[in-house]
Amino acid sequence: MAAQGVQRLVAVSNSGMIRDAADGPITRFVAKPILSRLLREGWADMARMEDIIRATDLDWTLMRPPMLTDGPRTGTYRTAVDHTIRGGNRISRADLADGILRVLADPASVRTAVALAN
The architecture that CATH gives domain 8-117 is 3-Layer(aba) Sandwich (3.40)
Q: What is the pTM assigned to this prediction?
A: 0.88
User: Dihedral of CA 84/82/7/98: which sign?
Assistant: positive
Count of other CB atoms within 10 angstroms of residue 3: 5
As beta bridge partners, residue 92 has 69
In DSSP notation, 26-54 reads: HIIIIIHHHHHHHTHHHHHHHHHHHHHHH
| pLDDT tens for the chain, residues 1 to 118 | 888 999 999 999 998 777 777 777 887 788 878 887 887 888 799 999 999 999 999 999 999 999 999 999 999 999 999 999 888 889 999 999 999 999 999 999 999 999 999 9
Alpha helix locations (H) across the chain? Answer: 25-26, 32-38, 40-54, 93-104
Q: Cβ contacts of residue 94 below 8 Å, gap of 6+?
A: 71, 72, 73, 74
**Which residue in 63, 62, 58, 56 sits closest to 8, CA to CA?**
58
